[in-house]
Amino acid sequence: MCYPPGAQPPDLPTHLRSISGGAGGEDVVLTSADGTKFRAHLARARSGDAGVVISPDIRGLHQFYEELAERFADAGVHAIAFDYFGRSAGLDKRADDFPWRDHVALTKPETIQADITASIAHLRSATSAKRVFVLGFCMGGRVAFNASADQKGLAGVVGFYGRLGTRPGEEGTAPADRAKKMTAPVLALMGGADPGIPETDVRAFEKALNDAKVKNHVEIYAGAPHSFFDRTFADYKDACDDAWRRALGFMKTGDPGARA
């Protein structure tokens, strides 16, 4: 689990909040290419041409990610957070005891990417977003990285501590393995004290991106654990503030090395 029940996204740094704020959020039901209906949460900014599709962690769409979409809207970026489990868990909102492990095992990379494609299409049709990014956390960070290879026309991808290793049955799907097919710039925001994603894996991914001439920026926050942004942000405020600045700087400029 990447965040405890009741956790909220870290606040935006004050200077990044839009004066007019966002227009609030709403639940929507989208349809994927295979006809599957899945739940998403759309938050519109008051103006602007940047949009982001938020790919959650292993628990799928929860209140944390709905609130995060609204934070992005407050910062002037249209946002939609989507759920992974429409095929296995339906459209209902779920309690904290939802057996997400059982449902993660039923997901497939290609159907998750199809759901992202549907989310992008809705974001474009329902808002003024023209430049679309995919941003994700943990499992969703890996999904976001690979979206650079699987989605056409993205302005960029952002992965917060996205898993980089390869488990049995995943051969060829690690982000480093997909780097040669990536077309969108990549921003990786990683914890320096994350035992599940050692720095050797991060640097190998960075090298694969550089070898493939994919524009990228890799930021490793010294001493920050896995899920520093969505579990312990009060203890890692400097890292969270910087991560906000980097994600939003990227979305405002298209440069993965920029800071807002």
pLDDT, tens only, 88-100: 999 988 888 888 8
User: What tens digit of pLDDT does each residue of 91-132 get?
Assistant: 988 888 888 889 999 999 999 999 999 999 999 999 999 999
User: What tens digit of pLDDT does each residue of 203-247 get?
Assistant: 999 999 999 999 999 999 999 999 999 766 678 999 999 999 999
- Confidence grade of residue 254 (pLDDT, cut at 50, 70, 90): very high
Q: In this structure, what token pair is assigned to residue 201? A: 């894996």
- Confidence grade of residue 175 (pLDDT, cut at 50, 70, 90): very high
134-260 matches 20-129 in CATH topology: yes
Is the model's pLDDT at 46 over the cut of 60? yes
Opening angle at CA 11, ends 9 and 12, nearest 5: 120
What pLDDT is recorded for position 21? 65
Distance CA 212, CA 88 (A): 36
Secondary structure letter of residue 121 according to DSSP: H
What pLDDT is recorded for position 253? 97
Domain ranges of the chain: 20-129, 134-260
Q: How far is CA 90 from the centre of its chain?
A: 22
Is the model's pLDDT at 170 over the cut of 90? no
Angle, helix 109-126 to helix 139-150, in steps of 10 degrees: 80
What pLDDT is recorded for position 20? 59
Distance CA 189, CA 167 (A): 22
Is the model's pLDDT at 1 over the cut of 60? no
Distance CA 256, CA 209 (A): 13
Annotation: CATH topology of 134-260: Rossmann fold (3.40.50)
Closest CA to 82 of 32, 140, 40: 40
Strands (E), the chain: 22-31, 37-45, 50-55, 78-82, 131-137, 156-160, 186-191, 216-221
Domain 20-129: give its CATH code: 3.40.50.1820
